Chains A and B, each alone.
Chain A
Amino acid sequence: MSDYLVQFNNISKFFGKVIALKDVTMRLKKGEIMCLLGDNGAGKSTLIKTLAGVHKPDEGEIIFEDNKIVFDSPKDALDIGIGTVYQDLALVPLMSVTRNFFMGREPQKGIPFLKTFDVEKANKIAADRMGQIGIDVRDPSQAVGTMSGGERQCLAISRAIYFGAKVLVLDEPTSALGVHQASMVLKYIVKAASEGLAVILITHNVHHAYPVGNSFTVLNRGKSMGTFQKKDISREKLLSMMAGGEELDKLEVELQEMDRIHNKN
């Protein structure tokens, strides 16, 4: 038995001639938060979809609890416990908290053919679960549209955990949020990990990733630039490793050059 809950070994994905991912390796232990960093176009979306079972990797293997796994559909990934929360969250603003929480997996009661949606039970579970993360849902029948962005993100994460996720894949959970809301979501992610989940946090925001992450994998142009433990790397180094870093350095040099020429004239 290896230490790792889930391993993605040497994953590659090609779309025709385009190499979207090449030899990306990520290994997570229980309770670990791995941040996947990368600029736009680095291959983050493709990697998420491969983790979630939407794409099949062309090379490499996925090992979950020491078993080699092949996903044929997103449902397979869900079934073994890889819960993906996409950026759009799969929440319907016009529907209530409860109805969103149990969307597609409603608890039922009653006799066969006349089964009803057990709204009371669902309301109770939804309110409980939201309460556990410090969001007091006054009325679980209130529309999700009335919740803040951070609360919605927490609802979507909470839903994934409730329905059996052992590995959480979070796609840019803080990108659309303000500082306060983002910290609420990050706190929740830390809490989830402390309860034994493995979390893959996809983001391009180092400032959000660094405080919560245990390890960091940097993607650039479809390739992994390596995985680093927190003690081995600084925030600044991470930032410069993401494609922006080097280019920003170059930009700075060019600007200085321009300034110099300008001052001469």
Chain B
Amino acid sequence: MSLKSKSISSKSNLSEDERLKKISPLRVLLNRPELGALGGSILVFIFFGIVAGDTGMFSAYGMLNFLDVSANLGIIAIAAAMLMIGGEFDLSIGSMIGFAGICIAIPAIYWGWPLWMSIVFAFAMAVLVGYFNGIMVVKTGLPSFIVTLAMLFILRGLTLAITRLITGRTQIPGLRVLIEDDPLAWLFATDTFKWLFTWLGSLKLIELRTDGTPLATGIPPSVIWFIALTLFATWILMKTRYGNWIFASGGDKVGATNVGVPVGRVKISLFIGTAVASTIFACIQVLDAGSADTMRGTLKELEAIAAAVVGGCLLTGGYGSAIGAAFGAIIFGTVSMGIFYTDVDTDWFKVFLGAMMLIAVVFNNYIRKKVTESK
């Protein structure tokens, strides 16, 4: 017996060596899900560097501008990507943003709650909504597309109806004054690294206002959240047991269940993740604008899914990356802002978004075939 197995192993050693030569580092890179989005980001930067290099887009102020837009989208795109890897969709992200906004604003303005309590309340509601989405999908076995589409309408309707019932309007202003001295709000409303910008300004390295202060005052909170969430999500996916369960749940639900992965719990937690990410998005935007709007976040779910797909997530689940989704968000943010700096009509942005997605889907499909190809 040992003789037999020896002979197989030596044989496969031989073919092993043949194969080793064929695999170039480029191919290894090609097999990473985020490659397309990384390449796309570089192309987008080169494009705008040429077309809009002298317009101020790449000044400190201009860069923070498009980074802010990318970061906001990125926060929800990363959560959407993790859910997609887990094999499900969440179409209620946009509505959850609007809903979270009024969950902060109504208690704070109309019920006299301290702002931090309203923020905690909004996150608690997010966990509830996410849990409900998750349990519905897991228990009924219905496609998450349908369940969360229903939630899209329910949440947006609730947001409108409750706001109009309590306030008589569809906008709730007046939050800005509450931010100061609040123990929690600074997390979502503080520009960081101000000293750096003041210093750069004093050296006249970045643009200044007429009064001598720098035009760009600090890194917006969205960017910090975005970076932190990208790192956190990547750590989870690549380095934890739970991350492996996410890939397994999306890759093959039945197989994963058979070997003991708690697929239901994984999926529910991912739905909670997208709802919580929507609430982080809402906190940042509501506190930045100082007001909640019932229509905030409309269509954001589709942008988040688009960014995740451009970032290499397969619509069928089981494959993708958080870094990819982050680059997907950077592509969309950069183009949506960059288009203002060019002569191109901004109406073309959506055309670009759609085309980008189509290219990404075709590319991803090709990659999947490559990865799953049998010898």
| Chain A residues within CB distance 8 Å of chain B | 74-75, 78, 86, 88-95, 99, 102-106, 108, 115-117, 119, 131, 133-136, 138, 143, 145-149, 159, 184, 187, 190-191, 194
Q: How far is the CA of A116 from the CA of B239 in the complex (A)?
A: 5
Q: Is the CB of B251 within 8 A of A88?
A: no
A163 to chain B: closest residue by CB? B259
Q: How far is the CA of A104 from the CA of B242 in the complex (A)?
A: 9
Q: Is the CB of A117 within 8 A of B260?
A: no
A142 to chain B: closest residue by CB? B31
- Whether, in the assembled complex, B245 has its beta carbon less than 8 Å from a beta carbon of chain A, the answer is yes
List residues of chain A with CB within 8 A of the CB of B374. Answer: 145-149
Q: Is the CB of B240 within 8 A of A115?
A: yes
Q: Is the CB of B239 within 8 A of A99?
A: no
Q: Is the CB of A94 within 8 A of B371?
A: yes
Q: Is the CB of B12 within 8 A of A135?
A: yes
Q: How far is the CA of A108 from the CA of B35 in the complex (A)?
A: 29
Q: Is the CB of A106 within 8 A of B255?
A: no
Q: How far is the CA of A147 from the CA of B11 in the complex (A)?
A: 16
- Whether, in the assembled complex, B243 has its beta carbon less than 8 Å from a beta carbon of chain A, the answer is yes
A147, A184, A194: the one contacting B1 at CB < 8 Å is A194
Please classify the interface of chain B as helix (H, G, I), strand (E, B), loop, or mixed, using the class held by over half of its residues: helix
Q: How far is the CA of A93 from the CA of B319 in the complex (A)?
A: 10
- Whether, in the assembled complex, B19 has its beta carbon less than 8 Å from a beta carbon of chain A, the answer is yes
| Interface stretch (choices B2-10, B165-173, B176-184) | B2-10
- Whether, in the assembled complex, B368 has its beta carbon less than 8 Å from a beta carbon of chain A, the answer is yes
- Whether, in the assembled complex, B275 has its beta carbon less than 8 Å from a beta carbon of chain A, the answer is no
Given A146-B375, A184-B8, A90-B259 contact (CB < 8 Å): yes
Interface centre among B20, B238, B244, B261 (most CB of A within 10 A): B244
Q: Is the CB of B16 within 8 A of A136?
A: yes
| Chain B residues within CB distance 8 Å of chain A | 1, 4-6, 8-9, 11-13, 16, 19-20, 31, 238-241, 243-245, 247-248, 251-252, 254-256, 258-261, 314, 318-319, 368, 371-375
Q: Is the CB of B1 within 8 A of A93?
A: no
**Minimum Cβ distance to chain A for residue B45 (Å):** 30
**Minimum Cβ distance to chain A for residue B95 (Å):** 31
List residues of chain A with CB within 8 A of the CB of B243. Answer: 117
Q: How far is the CA of A149 from the CA of B373 in the complex (A)?
A: 11
Given A92-B251, A103-B259, A147-B375 contact (CB < 8 Å): yes
Given A99-B247, A136-B13, A191-B5, A145-B260 contact (CB < 8 Å): no
List residues of chain B with CB within 8 A of the CB of A88. Answer: 252, 254-255
A88 to chain B: closest residue by CB? B255
Q: How far is the CA of A238 from the CA of B243 in the complex (A)?
A: 48
B254, B260, B371, B372: the one contacting A105 at CB < 8 Å is B260
Q: Given A93-B371, A105-B259, list of 12 further CB < 8 A pairs?
A: A90-B252, A90-B259, A104-B248, A117-B243, A134-B8, A135-B12, A138-B20, A143-B372, A145-B374, A146-B371, A147-B374, A194-B1
Given A104-B260, A133-B5, A138-B16, A92-B255 contact (CB < 8 Å): yes
